[in-house]
Amino acid sequence: MYPINIDFWFIQVRGYEGHWALGILLMGFFYQKYKSLKAGYDKEWFINAYAFAIFVGIIFARAFHFFFWETDEFLNNPLILFRPSGGFAILGGTIGTGLGGWIYCLITKKNFLHWCDSLMTPLTLGLCLSRLSCFLNGDAYGSPTDSIFGVVFSENSDDWMYHWNSLHNLYAYSEKPLNVISNLFLGQVNLSSIPLPNVLEPLKSEGIENLAQLSKFYPPVATGDYISILKEKGLFPFPVIYPPVHPTQLYELFILGIGFLILFKLEDVAWAQRKLFFVFWIIYGFNRYFIEMFRGDRNVFIGNLTYAQVISVFLCIGGVVGILFFTWKWKKYGMPIVNPKS
């Protein structure tokens, strides 16, 4: 993974939140512009509509992050919403962008569903690529796992190391750090699956490859001179460790990649005219519901369902209801003729 994208002399560019996001937005702009102009919309109208939709999307992305991911912090201090630092939730940004587009179409008296037929494939592709950037950055990763899909990200990733650093005090000075670590990941990852952090690389020359093999350095009570031995090995205080996790970014990239192909194929299907908006939300809702099962930052809302999963259920239901309603309506009354230039 490559959280440091550019490292030359005194120039270091990290992460995806800036240039990656900007690049994806620019790609989306030109792709959607091409599709919209092809569908008959004016260039100036599209630019204004796109800008308005993205503006609303950014507001929703910010709000969703604090409402549904940092809920406790937000309830304790609602003004946290306006601090210069903080995250943006892709789920909120996607919903907000759709709402912004609908509002602008309402204001300018354009047919929103007709315009959406030229937007859904570029939007899906952009969301798909955004998760690739998350993977390279080590952000939005999944829960610890022993499965063959488990991956470990770079220690240079601030997002990746933030959570593991927060757990460090639990075992750093413990007499039995391996026991504490084992309990932290009980039912998820065994010590034999957790690799050595970079600081313990010298121990590999002794044939040690994982945390389980460090047990030989820990007698029942590690006190007195034994502490100096542990210090020589780099084991006191015990370093920050990190387990392999589900690459949820790649799971989502795969699902949305399939979603992109489905929407691309449906663009030329008569039945799907002016329904791609709803098809998209069914695909995206299913995708996010599934991905949340493996996310490492689950914020549970009710039962074992996260806020994102509850929202995703409503997105899927809304998509199905929208398809059924407009299929019935247009079958009974006919599909209205649309002139994008009017």
- Mean pLDDT of all residues belonging to the chain: 89
Provide mean pLDDT across the span 276-303.
94
Report the run of H or E that residue 249 belongs to, with start and end: helix 248-266
pLDDT at residue 239, as a whole number: 96
Q: Does residue 11 carry a pLDDT above 60?
A: no
Token pair listed for 129? 């690529």
Provide mean pLDDT across the span 8-16.
55
pLDDT, one tens digit per residue, over 109-166 is 999 999 999 999 999 999 998 898 889 888 889 999 999 999 999 998 888 999 999 9
- Phi and psi torsions of 49, nearest 5°: -65, -45
Q: How far is CA 93 from CA 4, 108, 164, 240, 312, in A?
A: 25, 22, 27, 33, 14
Q: Does residue 66 carry a pLDDT above 90?
A: no
Cis peptide preceding 237, ω within 30 of 0: yes
Q: How far apart are CA 231 and CA 237, in angstroms?
A: 7
What residue type is assigned to position 67 of the chain? F
Could you tell me the pLDDT band of residue 182, with boundaries at 50, 70 and 90?
very high
Q: Does residue 3 carry a pLDDT above 70?
A: no
Instruction: Quote the DSSP letter at residue 79.
Output: G
Question: What global pTM score does this model have?
Answer: 0.89
CB atoms within 10 A of CB 217: 16
